[in-house]
Structure 1
Amino acid sequence: MIFVTVGHELRFDRLIRGLDEWVKETSYKDIFAQVAELGDEGYKPRNFEWQSFLDPETFKARFDKADLIVAHAGMGTIITALTMKKPLLIMPRKGALKETRNDHQIATAEQFARRNGIYVANDETELGSVLDQLITNPPPIIKEAASEFAEPQLIQTIRGFIYDGKAPKNV
């Protein structure tokens, strides 16, 4: 099952429209999306089941059940996918399109694209082909969950900077 989430603050019409078109073309059926509040002008998918908002328990249940997560490049979703060992396809929001305040999600996607289990569609034109690839060749099982907490070395480096003014090495 594919679970799609765009976060709860802002709709992400490009992602949802791209998925809707892909589902229509492929007839893929096992997909559910949390699409945020759409208002009068937001894109409402016609080819898969969706809701604007999910309570935390339902969100977690959908996340648990999913074989693949598709999302914006938001850190909350990325961290959740890594800690739950779920393969994740991200498509970053773009500041130039006023989907977010700047291009931080593009930078996030570039950084996490190097990590096992995270796949990137840079825009809606790449979304279908990346999904086709992941459906045809399912990603390998992620064996080790990421820690929910920062590594001790990172915490120590931050403490050193805050308390002693020591700049981190190799930054």
Structure 2
Amino acid sequence: MGGNDNRFESKRTVFVTVGTTSFDSLVKAVDTQQVQEALLKKGYTHLVIQMGRGSYIPKKSSGEDGSLVLDYFTFSPSIADYMRSASLVISHAGSGSIFETLKLARPLIVVVNEDLMDNHQSELAEELAERKHLFCARPQTLNQTIEALDLDSIIPYQSGDATPVAKLINRHLGFPAD
């Protein structure tokens, strides 16, 4: 490489987080050839997976064969540094992960866990996707979502006013609208 420092600039990391849960279907989805090829085509070079309590172990890769560099871990005291250095975040639908990523102004694909009963998280993700703050996918549609990814269509989330989110939550809980 001979002191070629621009290889650092060209490092584009995708950070995947499942939070404290187990979401093996998301980890399996990002460990598929289709999803990894879609990420490579979009110019991403590294894939870091925070797999939580999941039992599925993805395949690590050094990327020497032209594939994504892939690494994973279970938990970290803070995933904020991973999110901050990511070019793209793929997350479970937990509101903490969603809002932390939006606050950092990182492009976000939220993958809804369809195995959860009473999945109120998907309503939040779908509402924010409708407002073009993020993209929403299911594990089985993740590769199509990545292929169609248009980062220019994202509208930055303004975290100052929580009223629209509070109204959404109140409506979901059945409280009357003010």
Unaligned stretches of 5+ residues in structure 1: 159-165
Q: State the AA in 1 paired with 2:146.
A: L
Normalising by structure 2, we get a TM-score of 0.69
1:46 to 59, 62, 66: 59
Offset from partner CA, 1:68-120 (integer Å, 9 cap, x none): 110111101111122111111011112xx3xx342222322321221223001
RMSD over aligned Cα atoms? 2.8
Unaligned stretches of 5+ residues in structure 2: 1-12, 61-69
Q: State the AA in 2 paired with 1:133.
A: A
**Hey, what's the Cα distance between the residues in 1 that align with 2:109 and 2:156?**
18
Offset from partner CA, 1:9-62 (integer Å, 9 cap, x none): x11111110110035545844110111023xxx111114211000111xx1111
Distance 1:133 1:103, change over 3 A: same
Distance 1:51 1:108, change over 3 A: same
Normalising by structure 1, we get a TM-score of 0.71
Offset from partner CA, 1:135-169 (integer Å, 9 cap, x none): xx5x02867552266349x69xx9xxxxxxx9534
State whether structure 2 residue 36 is matched by structure 1 residue 16. Answer: no
Preserved contact between residue 3 and residue 63 of structure 1 (Cα < 8 Å): yes
Residue in 2 aligned with 1:162? Answer: none
Preserved contact between residue 38 and residue 146 of structure 2 (Cα < 8 Å): no
1:3 to 12, 15, 21: 15
Query: What is the aligned length?
Result: 145
Preserved contact between residue 131 and residue 155 of structure 2 (Cα < 8 Å): no
**Hey, what's the Cα distance between the residues in 2 that align with 1:61 and 1:27?**
21
2:152 to 140, 145, 158: 140
